[in-house]
A and B are shown apart, each in its own frame.
Chain A
Amino acid sequence: MLFYIFKRLLTMIPLLAGITLISFTVIHLAPGKPTDLALDLNPAVTAEVKARMEKLYGLDKPVHVQYWTWLKRLAVMDFGRSFAPDGRPVADKILERLPITITINVLSLALILAVALPLGIASATRPHSLFDQTTTVFVFVGFATPTFWLALLCMILFGVELGWLPISGLTSYNYDQLPALGKLLDRVRHLILPVLLSAFGGLAGMSRYMRANMSEVIRQDYITTARAKGLKERVVIYKHALRNALMPVITLLGLSLPGLIGGSVIFESIFAIPGLGQLFYQGVMSRDYPLVMGGLVIGAVLTLLGNLLADVSYALVDPRIRVQ
């Protein structure tokens, strides 16, 4: 197992190099030096900031030296300072926003699993039934629904028309005056719509995937054997079949990470949630290059780590992977 993890870590090295190389290329896409454009367009960029930027990328040196300088700084989480008036280190800004985004994504992943898995199992065990067909329609419509639009509709319905749920921020304006339980409730109420909606995007895909896994597993011989020896259908499905059908889900969870992180840009700007996505969006809008680059690298590295975690968990549950 340790050998497997080690091997897996080794394969991450070229990926990391590639991620940083592509990010570095992206910075240099800007016409002229990144500092020129920023200086022209952003009044917050003073000569001092420009000097800092030039030092960060070593812009007077050859490109490969610049890349190396930048890499060495990345290795110690030094993404430079933000162009925003506060001029704080990008790493600090990102780290303080990260917990909110991770919380929302973990909650919505949990919700996706809680809904999509039973849905997929139920469809697979009753193929072509009315239930299965309804779920299939739901899946197709779910795939096609722009989630930011659904978010708007939910804001109109639950926020404006019915007034049941708050539609922006993480806390109400009177948060500080609330008792402890009220504070918790207030936070929960603010999280309901963002979590529901960011889960919606993955729901369709996951239930479809689970249905496919499950229908493949229940066609296998060992399931027929289990039935033949007189086990109850419930035991056959939920004990024998489910274990094998669940394994590929781990990989899909890892693969769905970039989508979730990318989607946080949309949800956090719609619901005014101060997370990584909103920070990144603001950085893009104000052309805060160090922030944008930091966000890009962190987003990709998070995905890489997520995939590693998924692969290692897969190897833990499936001995065949370890042996190969």
Chain B
Amino acid sequence: MPAGTLAQETWRRFKRNRLALAGGVVVVFLFVISFLAPIVSPHDPNQFHLRRVLEQPSAGHPLGTDELGRDVLARMIYGARISLKVGFVAVGIATLIGMVLGALAGYYSGWVDAFIMRLVDIMLCFPAFFLILAVIALLEPSIWNIMIVIGLTSWMGVARLVRAEFMTLKGREFVSSARVLGASDLRIIFRHLLPNAMAPVLVSATLGVAGAILTESALSFLGIGVQPPTPSWGNILTAGKDNIEVAWWLSVFPGLAILVTVLAYNLLGEGLREALDPRLRE
């Protein structure tokens, strides 16, 4: 094995996977678009033009206009911001909860483990979409509530992963030696064990972003997600459904954007999985 840090080694292996690289490029592109939205957007996403309602794609409006005459491309560019935000915040919440609970379960075993794992089983029984809808019905649909609820209903996979890693790692010598040196439980968990469990968590978080984006778009599509006039890919699709007989562009482009984005995160995640898997390391 050539000398180099783990990051260098991973990158060397990652960049050989063209599909994963393409996924990464799309993700970076979306980040850039989101940050530069006010600069790259051809129009104001909320500017009404009641005389230019539901216009076909043209030079002035490359992706057409919606039912209020707003530019679809501009709304999609701003919609990318929403997807990004929801994806990262929701997954951040889920990953944090999953890591803490998984670490506790894996490290302490016994009744702590039994309790946390039953909680995981219980959460997995709920059709996630039902649970999210019910909570949104009681609170109110807003982007923050959605991010929190998606996060609170999707941490179980991470918890299981971290727990499994902890169970295999905690019997190793480096943990025993840390303990002999007088390290506290917290120190062992956070300084010694958790860093070793990060690779699968990173992979699962990348795939989780894709899932969160899909969920947000479905919620917004049903009218219980991001509320208009804030543009999101899902709520543009709602307009697409309402105008399904006259305006195909309202349905086709936002959906395509979701597909490409989710595909990109999935390819990136799978690429990371392969690059980080020590069994595949030569």
Interface residues of A (CB under 8 A from B): 14-15, 18-19, 22-23, 26-27, 29-30, 34, 37, 140-141, 143-146, 148-150, 152-153, 155-156, 160, 257-259, 261-263, 265-266, 269-270, 280-281, 283-285, 287, 289, 292-293, 295-296, 299-300, 303-304, 307
Contact = CB atoms under 8 A, between A and B. Distances in A.
Given A29-B139, A140-B266, A258 B259 contact: no
Contacts, number: 144
25 contacts: A26-B135, A29-B139, A143-B266, A144-B259, A144-B262, A144-B266, A146-B217, A146-B218, A146-B259, A148-B221, A152-B241, A152-B251, A153-B251, A160-B245, A257-B127, A259-B127, A265-B133, A266-B221, A280-B130, A287-B138, A292-B138, A293-B134, A296-B134, A300-B127, A300-B130
Contacts of A29: 135, 138-139
A152 B127 contact: no
B138 A26 contact: yes
Interface residues of B, number: 45
B123 to A, nearest CB: 8
Given A19-B125, A262-B128, 19 more contacts: A15-B121, A18-B121, A26-B131, A26-B138, A145-B259, A146-B217, A150-B255, A152-B240, A152-B241, A261-B127, A283-B137, A292-B138, A293-B134, A295-B134, A296-B131, A296-B134, A299-B127, A300-B127, A303-B126
B136 interface: yes
Contacts of A27: 138
Contact of B125 (A150, A281, A304): A304
Nearest to A28: B138
A262 B124 CA distance: 12
Nearest to A298: B130
B129 interface: yes
Contacts of B248: 156
B193 interface: no
Contacts of A26: 131, 134-135, 138
A146 B130 contact: no
B266 A261 contact: no
A179 to B, nearest CB: 30
Contact of A269 (B128, B222, B258): B222
B68 interface: no
A300 B121 CA distance: 11
Contact of B267 (A15, A19, A140, A292): A140
A143 B134 contact: no
A89 to B, nearest CB: 19
Contacts of A281: 133, 222
B135 A258 contact: no
Contacts of B214: 146
A30 B138 contact: yes
Contacts of B125: 15, 19, 258, 300, 303-304, 307
A293 B133 CA distance: 11
B218 A266 contact: yes
B134 A284 contact: yes
Interface string B242-275: 0011001001101100111011001100000000
A160 B246 CA distance: 9
B130 A15 contact: no
B134 A303 contact: no
Contacts of B119: 18
Given A152-B255, A269-B222, A296 B130 contact: yes
Contacts of A292: 133-134, 137-138
Contacts of A37: 138
Give the top 9 A-B pairs by smallest Cβ distance, nearest first.
A262-B129, A149-B255, A18-B122, A262-B127, A144-B263, A144-B262, A284-B137, A258-B127, A30-B138
Contacts of A293: 134
Contacts of A143: 262-263, 266
Contacts of B135: 26, 29
Nearest to A305: B125
Contacts of B131: 26, 296
Contacts of A14: 118
Interface in B163-208: none
A146 to B, nearest CB: 5
B162 interface: no
Contacts of B244: 152, 155-156, 160
Given A141-B259, A148-B221, A303 B127 contact: yes
A262 B154 CA distance: 14
Nearest to A302: B127
A149 B139 contact: no
A295 B129 CA distance: 12
B237 interface: yes
